[in-house]
Amino acid sequence: MTAGEEFLLFDFALPAGYVENVRLSDNASDPGSAQPGMKGGDFRSYMSDEKGADYLVVKSAPALLSVTQGVLTAPLTDEQPLQVVAYPNPTTSGTFRLFLKGFDSSETVTLHFHSIMGIEQRRLTDKVGNLTGRAISVPDLNAPYWLVVLERTLTNERFSQKIWIRN
């Protein structure tokens, strides 16, 4: 999710034409719960008739979503997609490892460590084969998180991961 962009949480569909007992609310003109005749109810919080019969059935089982936390991929191409994963995340020791999928192990990349204020605190340049699975420490355990940016200098690509420090 991105701030300022709409994100559809749920939707519903009704059959075409008139549907008995269905009325969508108009927040600008419908009476509020404190107005006469509303008896504490309003059109915005539920869908029921004046006797309290509920016309809205909510299926509250968790949705099956295909979400992978902490995985960033490069733009889609015909080539194998690249993945950069920092684990464990959050870390209690301030040490994490990188899983670098799709990279050539002989490629040289640079890791940039940025503070909460966005100031680069440390830089590490090495081959992918040397960085993959290696224990890497954050510059300071007192910071709540670090932004770690992996830069591919040959292709001018960057992958970023936020590393949380949990006490």
Residue 20 is predicted with a pLDDT of 73
Tokens 């005749």 belong to 37
**Phi and psi, residue 129, nearest 5°:** -60, -30
**What are the extents of the domains in the chain?**
15-61, 72-164
Between CA 157 and CA 159 the distance in angstroms is 7
Give tens-digit pLDDT for 63-114. Answer: 565 555 555 555 545 566 888 888 888 888 889 989 898 899 999 999 999 9
Between CA 146 and CA 137 the distance in angstroms is 11
Give tens-digit pLDDT for 127-155. Answer: 999 999 899 999 887 888 899 999 998 88
Q: What is the pTM of this model?
A: 0.52
Q: What is the radius of gyration, based on Cα positions, of the chain? A: 26
> What residues contact residue 118 under an 8 Å CB cut-off, 6+ apart?
147
Give tens-digit pLDDT for 24-65. Answer: 666 677 777 788 877 776 665 556 666 766 666 555 556 565
Q: Which CATH superfamily is domain 72-164 in?
A: Macroglobulin (MG2) domain (2.60.40.1930)
How far, in Å, are 120, 152, 161, 164 from residue 113 at the CA level?
6, 15, 10, 13
